[in-house]
Amino acid sequence: MPFRQVQNDYQPEQIVQMTEALNLAWPQVLFANGESTPSQLDLLKQRLANFIIACASQGEFNPEALKEAAVRAFCKE
């Protein structure tokens, strides 16, 4: 669970929204980053989760808005 370290800092519904955002963003981030080893993928997913946590700490919990911010940050064109 990528948000285990902050589960006591947020309401359960907020964790659900953050998880939804991660699940929405992950396929696009994965595709944009190409081939990687399993350990690189784990690190990338944790970085993505940390980015979503940072956005949530600023008060953003809308899954679609979090996904869009993450995709912009992790999918450079």
Cα(76)–Cα(45) distance, integer angstroms? 16
Query: Looking at the domain assignment, is residue 2 inside a domain?
Result: no
Confidence of residue 36 (pLDDT cuts 50, 70, 90): confident
C-alpha triplet 10, 59, 11: angle, nearest 5°: 15
Q: Which domain holds residue 32?
A: 11-74
Q: Over 80: is that where the pLDDT of 56 sits?
A: yes
pLDDT band at 58 (very low <50, low <70, confident <90, very high): very high
Between the CA atoms of 21, 27, 29 and 34, what dihedral angle is there, to the nearest 10 degrees? 170
Q: How many domains does the chain have?
A: 1
Residue 42 lies in a domain: yes
User: Cα separation of 61 and 8, whole Å?
Assistant: 16
Within a domain: 3: no
Q: What is the pLDDT of residue 21?
A: 98
Model confidence at 77, pLDDT cuts 50, 70, 90, reads low
pTM of the model: 0.91
Query: How far from 41 is each of 10, 36, 53, 57, CA to CA, in Å?
Result: 26, 6, 18, 24
- Residue 5 within any structural domain of the chain: no
